[in-house]
Chain A
Amino acid sequence: MNTVSFIARRLFLAIFVLLGVATITFILSHSLGGNPIYAWLGKAASQHPQLAQQYEAQYHLNDPLWVQYYYYLSGLLHGNLGYSPSRGFVPVVTVIEQTLPYTIQIAFFALAISLLLGVTLGVVAARYHHKMADKSIRAFYLAGICSPSFFAALILLIVFNLELHLLPSGGSVGINITAPTPITYIPILDALIEGNFAYFSSAIQHVILPSMALALVNFGVVVRVLRSSMLDVMHSNYIRTARAKGLKESTVFFKHGLRNAMIPVVTLSSILVTWLITGTIFVENIFAYPGIGQYVFQALTTQDYPGIMATTLVFALIIVATNLVADILYVVVDPQIRLS
């Protein structure tokens, strides 16, 4: 199979998976408190009889299920996700547009910290395997992996905010700081482009703790995978050849060893993104960070059904897209890989 048909196959699979997810949310939307209108307007539907009527007509809620299914899918394709009762009845799409950039910020920094920490410690653990350093690193990441993200968030908050007063306790940026004009719609990036350093530095300070909390409970998997792939690679023939050529051990280790051992980490990154994005539900809530995770939390506690169904779809969309990118990257990084 060549690269193009491999990518085409992956793309097809991605579309199929999204259709599957939409089917699941469709089924679920019919089990919400007995009335499918709740899936679009929440229980507040009764307060908006006109809107309810409009939705019933638009989604053919009185027709057979397969007709409803068709209109449900076509509604999704038009970006119609209903109205959010927990956010003053604005369209869910608007809420997602407002919150998603913040979650991207957190996820980006969390991924960066996870990879930095994971790769560094993974290399050290492989270099000194079965030594003290390896064992301490294992204890450290095991404690992280085994902690719920809300627990890690609370510990960081207590240590760095309540005790040391080093970093802010919540929010996305300090008060009275003018927001940058939206260019990319990702505030930190916009501030950087615009040269708004007051916003930039404040926003960075606010993003550190939440993304640290996420990274701490997730970086362990990078250490684990990199350490074992590094140990495998260091036993391979080309490493022996490199050593036999008389190369310096550090060159062998980093240039020949690490570069090849990093390949599994690429695939892993897509799994990592899944976990980080899920973790935002807890961490954003604790740090009052206005991202999509906080919206999910709010939607859950107020029975905002449209919000929950929509965010399920958005999460799936992000994850499918990430997996697709990782699959393609994988082929690019390692041309030897069998495309099957």
Chain B
Amino acid sequence: MESEITGEGKPAEDSTPSPPPRHERLRTILHALRSNKGALAGAIIVSMFFVTALAVFIAGLLHTRITPYSPIQQDVGPALAAPSWAHLMGTDELGRDVFSRVVAATPNDMAVSLTVIAFSLIVGAFLGTYAAFHGGLVDEALMRMTDIFFAIPGLVLAMAIGIALGPGITNMAIALMVIWWPPYARLARGEALKIAHQNYIEAARLSGAGRFRILLEHALPNISQTLLVYASMDTGTVILIYAGLSYLGLAVRPPFPDWGQMVSAYQDYMVSVPWLPLFPGIVIALGVIGFSLLGDGLKDALGGS
């Protein structure tokens, strides 16, 4: 693919520079992460969350656990105990270990955010590029549809869809997928419009490549960078909205732990043990900060829009 852009096609007068080869891009990213303290911090936080999520998930498959206590077992300590070495984040009203609950809930948020972002990336990239390249009715329909989605706040629509589907992590992930892809389609469309009349696309068209081949092999790789930068900055927002849905009781049923739901359950004990609802809240904020810093760093390094 790269040879077509930089080689025979020779788009010397092309206004937009051709994207650098992939290994060079990777080097830019790594360099940016090393030189940008914020991005590095973001990368470390995000990796911590993913490693934890993965470890909890694998431990679950092996019927064991990595948390110090069972996240749902009651009376592992005195109820509403303050943080201590035995219970890093204290215990809740039923004597469950809060730290274990927070750790055990990590896979929920990570899985939901990854699924929603991956789905939006794929659907948005395809629809947006297709609309940009073929215009007409498809384009108009897509744009008007995204107008509608833009008018309703994501959380409210996700709530309405969520209540129709019923509570549950999977249903919330579906609700979020339904509402999440439109900005990606818009972004992909805008980016694809920029390259639609570039020489290498024309060349591919003249050489007899079919529409889908042009989309897949020529258009998508060239707009993927912008989309990925946007996606990395957007992941934190999914975590925030999912935490909101969870807080509203739409995601996980008690006794199973989930960050948002824990804040909502623990806020009743705020007067006597104010730290209790704050711990899961801090963890949510930390995760979002991680993705935000990482996304900002990638944007600086790769120059997204």
- Asked whether A233 is an interface residue with its Cβ less than 8 Å from the other chain, the reply is no
Interface locus among A12-20, A97-105, A108-116, A121-129: A12-20
Look across to chain B and name the residue whose beta carbon is closest to the beta carbon of A314. Answer: B156
Look across to chain B and name the residue whose beta carbon is closest to the beta carbon of A305. Answer: B163
Q: How many of chain B's residues touch chain A, expressed as a range? A: 35 or more
Given A21-B148, A157-B270, does the pair A148, B244 have CB atoms closer than 8 Å? Answer: yes
Please determine whether B289 and A146 come into contact, CB atoms closer than 8 angstroms. yes
Please determine whether B270 and A162 come into contact, CB atoms closer than 8 angstroms. yes
Please determine whether B151 and A28 come into contact, CB atoms closer than 8 angstroms. no
Please determine whether B247 and A21 come into contact, CB atoms closer than 8 angstroms. no
CB distance from B276 to the nearest CB of A (A): 10
- Asked whether A145 is an interface residue with its Cβ less than 8 Å from the other chain, the reply is yes
- Asked whether B159 is an interface residue with its Cβ less than 8 Å from the other chain, the reply is yes
| 0/1 string, B221-254, CB within 8 A of A gives 1 | 0000000000000001000100110011110000
Given A147-B285, A301-B249, does the pair A278, B153 have CB atoms closer than 8 Å? Answer: yes
- Asked whether B297 is an interface residue with its Cβ less than 8 Å from the other chain, the reply is no
Please determine whether A154 and B156 come into contact, CB atoms closer than 8 angstroms. no
- Asked whether A223 is an interface residue with its Cβ less than 8 Å from the other chain, the reply is no
Look across to chain B and name the residue whose beta carbon is closest to the beta carbon of A151. Answer: B281
Please determine whether A300 and B164 come into contact, CB atoms closer than 8 angstroms. no
- Asked whether B137 is an interface residue with its Cβ less than 8 Å from the other chain, the reply is no
CB distance from B99 to the nearest CB of A (A): 18
Given A278-B153, A297-B248, A315-B152, does the pair A32, B147 have CB atoms closer than 8 Å? Answer: no
Interface locus among B12-20, B90-98, B210-218, B260-268: B260-268
- Asked whether A268 is an interface residue with its Cβ less than 8 Å from the other chain, the reply is no
Please determine whether A147 and B249 come into contact, CB atoms closer than 8 angstroms. no
How many chain A residues touch B (CB < 8 A): the figure is 47
Given A146-B288, A150-B264, A154-B277, does the pair A21, B250 have CB atoms closer than 8 Å? Answer: no
Q: Which of A277, A286, A312 is in CB contact (< 8 Å) with B160?
A: A312
CA distance A2 to B282 in the complex (A): 50
Q: Which of A24, A145, A157, A315 is in CB contact (< 8 Å) with B153?
A: A315
Please determine whether A17 and B147 come into contact, CB atoms closer than 8 angstroms. yes
B residues near A157, Cβ cutoff 8 Å: 270
A residues near B244, Cβ cutoff 8 Å: 148-150, 281-282
CB distance from B251 to the nearest CB of A (A): 12
| Additional pairs, 10, CB under 8 Å, beyond known A21-B148, A281-B248, A323-B151 | A20-B145, A142-B289, A142-B293, A147-B281, A147-B285, A148-B243, A149-B244, A155-B281, A308-B163, A315-B153
12 A–B contacts, CB within 8 A, in A order: A21-B148, A24-B157, A142-B292, A148-B247, A150-B260, A151-B282, A154-B267, A162-B271, A300-B249, A300-B250, A312-B152, A312-B159
Residue ranges of B at the interface with A (Cβ–Cβ < 8 Å):
144-145, 147-148, 151-157, 159-161, 163-165, 236, 240, 243-244, 247-250, 260, 263-264, 267, 270-271, 274, 277-278, 281-282, 284-285, 288-289, 292-293
Residue ranges of A at the interface with B (Cβ–Cβ < 8 Å):
13, 16-18, 20-21, 24-25, 28, 31-32, 142-143, 145-151, 154-155, 157-158, 162, 274-275, 277-278, 281-282, 286, 296-297, 300-301, 303, 305, 308-309, 311-312, 315-316, 319-320, 323
